[in-house]
Protein backbone atom coordinates (compact mmCIF):
# COMPACT_ATOMS: atom_id res chain seq x y z
CA UNK A 1 0.00 0.00 0.00
CA UNK A 2 1.08 3.52 -0.75
CA UNK A 3 -0.49 6.80 0.31
CA UNK A 4 -1.03 8.94 -2.76
CA UNK A 5 -2.11 12.59 -2.59
CA UNK A 6 -4.27 13.76 -5.47
CA UNK A 7 -4.68 17.54 -5.71
CA UNK A 8 -7.59 18.91 -7.69
CA UNK A 9 -7.04 22.00 -9.83
CA UNK A 10 -8.91 23.99 -7.16
CA UNK A 11 -6.33 22.91 -4.56
CA UNK A 12 -8.52 20.39 -2.73
CA UNK A 13 -6.42 17.41 -1.63
CA UNK A 14 -7.42 13.77 -1.41
CA UNK A 15 -5.05 11.39 0.39
CA UNK A 16 -5.86 7.74 -0.24
CA UNK A 17 -4.16 4.40 0.21
CA UNK A 18 -3.72 2.53 -3.05
CA UNK A 19 -2.90 -1.17 -3.16
CA UNK A 20 0.36 -2.35 -4.66
CA UNK A 21 -0.04 -3.48 -8.25
CA UNK A 22 -2.78 -1.02 -9.12
CA UNK A 23 -2.02 2.13 -11.07
CA UNK A 24 -2.25 5.68 -9.76
CA UNK A 25 -5.19 6.09 -12.18
CA UNK A 26 -7.01 3.08 -10.69
CA UNK A 27 -6.46 4.53 -7.22
CA UNK A 28 -8.20 7.74 -8.29
CA UNK A 29 -11.01 5.92 -10.07
CA UNK A 30 -11.65 3.47 -7.22
CA UNK A 31 -11.77 6.29 -4.67
CA UNK A 32 -13.97 8.68 -6.66
CA UNK A 33 -11.27 11.32 -7.07
CA UNK A 34 -12.50 13.98 -9.52
CA UNK A 35 -10.21 15.25 -12.26
CA UNK A 36 -8.93 11.96 -13.64
CA UNK A 37 -11.36 10.72 -16.28
CA UNK A 38 -9.46 7.70 -17.66
CA UNK A 39 -11.66 7.41 -20.76
CA UNK A 40 -9.64 4.51 -22.21
CA UNK A 41 -9.67 2.55 -18.97
CA UNK A 42 -5.91 2.53 -18.58
CA UNK A 43 -4.83 1.34 -22.03
CA UNK A 44 -2.58 4.37 -22.65
CA UNK A 45 -4.81 5.26 -25.59
CA UNK A 46 -5.87 8.73 -24.43
CA UNK A 47 -4.58 11.49 -22.18
CA UNK A 48 -7.51 11.88 -19.79
CA UNK A 49 -5.57 10.65 -16.77
CA UNK A 50 -2.88 13.30 -17.17
CA UNK A 51 -1.37 14.84 -14.02
CA UNK A 52 1.62 16.92 -13.01
CA UNK A 53 3.79 15.11 -10.48
CA UNK A 54 5.24 17.09 -7.60
CA UNK A 55 8.72 18.34 -8.55
CA UNK A 56 10.45 16.22 -5.90
CA UNK A 57 8.99 13.07 -7.51
CA UNK A 58 10.04 13.67 -11.12
CA UNK A 59 13.35 11.79 -10.82
CA UNK A 60 11.94 9.12 -8.50
CA UNK A 61 9.46 7.71 -11.03
CA UNK A 62 10.25 5.23 -13.80
CA UNK A 63 10.96 6.92 -17.13
CA UNK A 64 8.17 7.48 -19.64
CA UNK A 65 8.00 4.92 -22.40
CA UNK A 66 7.48 6.09 -26.01
CA UNK A 67 3.73 5.36 -25.96
CA UNK A 68 3.21 7.55 -22.90
CA UNK A 69 5.32 10.31 -24.48
CA UNK A 70 3.12 10.16 -27.59
CA UNK A 71 -0.14 10.31 -25.63
CA UNK A 72 1.08 13.25 -23.55
CA UNK A 73 1.19 15.26 -26.79
CA UNK A 74 -2.63 15.21 -26.63
CA UNK A 75 -2.88 16.29 -22.97
CA UNK A 76 -4.04 19.71 -21.85
CA UNK A 77 -1.00 21.95 -21.30
CA UNK A 78 1.58 19.18 -20.81
CA UNK A 79 4.76 19.98 -18.93
CA UNK A 80 7.81 18.20 -20.43
CA UNK A 81 9.25 17.39 -17.02
CA UNK A 82 6.26 16.93 -14.71
CA UNK A 83 3.46 15.54 -16.89
CA UNK A 84 2.63 11.87 -16.54
CA UNK A 85 -0.26 9.57 -17.39
CA UNK A 86 -1.44 7.97 -14.18
CA UNK A 87 -2.37 4.76 -15.99
CA UNK A 88 1.35 4.20 -16.56
CA UNK A 89 2.39 4.56 -12.91
CA UNK A 90 2.24 1.22 -11.05
CA UNK A 91 1.82 1.56 -7.32
CA UNK A 92 4.38 0.00 -5.00
CA UNK A 93 5.90 0.89 -1.64
CA UNK A 94 8.35 3.13 -3.52
CA UNK A 95 5.46 5.46 -4.44
CA UNK A 96 4.38 6.01 -0.84
CA UNK A 97 3.92 9.77 -0.45
CA UNK A 98 3.54 10.53 -4.17
CA UNK A 99 1.71 13.80 -4.82
CA UNK A 100 0.04 14.54 -8.15
CA UNK A 101 -1.74 17.65 -9.37
CA UNK A 102 -4.64 17.60 -11.81
CA UNK A 103 -4.66 19.98 -14.77
CA UNK A 104 -7.47 22.49 -15.21
CA UNK A 105 -9.21 20.03 -17.54
CA UNK A 106 -8.67 16.75 -19.35
CA UNK A 107 -8.92 16.51 -23.13
Residue 73 CB: number of other CB atoms within 10 A? 8
pLDDT at 22: 98
What digits encode the pLDDT tens for the residues 17-70? 999 999 999 999 999 999 999 999 999 999 999 999 999 999 999 999 999 999
In whole angstroms, give the CA distance from residue 60 to residue 94: 9
Confidence of residue 73 (pLDDT cuts 50, 70, 90): very high
Confidence of residue 86 (pLDDT cuts 50, 70, 90): very high
pLDDT at 63: 97
pLDDT at 43: 96
Confidence of residue 93 (pLDDT cuts 50, 70, 90): very high
pLDDT at 62: 96
Domains of the chain with CATH codes: 2-101 (3.10.20.30)
Model-level pTM? Answer: 0.97
Amino acid sequence: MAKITYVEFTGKEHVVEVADGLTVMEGARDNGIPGIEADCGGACACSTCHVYVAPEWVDRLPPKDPMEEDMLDFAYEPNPERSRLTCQLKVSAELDGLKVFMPEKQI
